[in-house]
Amino acid sequence: MNNKPFEPTCPLPLSTKKTIQLAHGGGGRLMQELIQKVFVQAFHNPMLESLHDGATWPVEKGTLAFTTDSYVVRPLFFPGGDIGSLAVNGTINDLAMCGAKPLYLSAGFILEEGLSMEVLQRVVNSMAEAARTAGVPIVTGDTKVVDRGKGDGIFINTSGVGLVPNGVRVLPTLIQPGDAILVSGDLGSHGVAVLSVREGLTFDGNVESDSAPLHRIVADLIDSGIEIHCLRDLTRGGLASVLNELAAAAKVGTMVEEPAIPVSEPVRGACELLGLDPLYVANEGRFVAIVPESQVEAALAVMHRHQAANQAAQIGIVTERDPSMVILRTVVGTHRVLDLLSGEQLPRIC
């Protein structure tokens, strides 16, 4: 028998629930607990703490940017990041690629019944940390809980609003033949890092995800007076897919030099082994910048000031010929098409 005095309350305080239950999304006490003790505590800022149906703020004159992205990643934690930091950085990066200064984020959670509270707390803490590091607060949110087996632990949607500074226009249609194609760093780390933990593969030189916010690099480029024609972050589908999208949107050709494309040794090794092409592997902290040729040196100098872009390099040029196509000059000096993938890259047999 325990000697604790009788208390007329539930012996198990709500906050000690070890797993997510359907009631955490039910609108009642458990949900309030979850919002207060997990989300508000981690993301705390005055706009969120008003606990209104939405966040409000006065608008400056100018152009707004608005974006949304959903995050489903297995496993939730991987070397160099997790679904939480990914969900914050990814949406910040989408705003940055519009030339915008990210202002505020929203966070929508779809939680699976039975998810460990400790896992949720780790993810939320990671989001809070990423938002603080980036200086972009999470000001509104939503939570739903789905039956066990109907989700994959946690799905997160983040939306973001940003302000495009006056005079800044960053659009695929501004891409011109003769422009230079810059990439902000080495490719494929995120995809290989996630694959390595998902499949239990181990590679020499521990590959970590490149997940990082890119808005400060973009702001620095803009503030330094670099003329930017287009920016695009490299996510799923990798460099090859982005170049194809841009070539098609701008109706121009692109010529890329394979030897100039930065790929780290461990990522190259892993890709060689698995039969994957690093040019199609996912990134979460890399972008392509298309700038006039005259701006290359200055743009690279700015990018090199930032850790997440210290390996930035020119990898190719925009051409008039072969419109809507990406041509790769291979390491042996021949040419081939760099096409969009059909479906996922699949590991090969031998």
Shortest Cβ distance from residue 241 to another protein (Å)?
13
Cβ nearer to another protein, comparing 28 with 205: 205
Cβ nearer to another protein, comparing 28 with 347: 347
Shortest Cβ distance from residue 275 to another protein (Å)?
6
Cβ nearer to another protein, comparing 4 with 348: 348
Residues within the interface to another protein (CB under 8 A)? 199, 201, 265, 268-269, 272, 274-275, 321-322, 325, 327, 330-337, 339, 341-343, 346-350
Shortest Cβ distance from residue 98 to another protein (Å)?
30
Shortest Cβ distance from residue 193 to another protein (Å)?
16
Cβ nearer to another protein, comparing 44 with 336: 336
Cβ nearer to another protein, comparing 292 with 323: 323
* Token code pair at residue 233: 């972050």
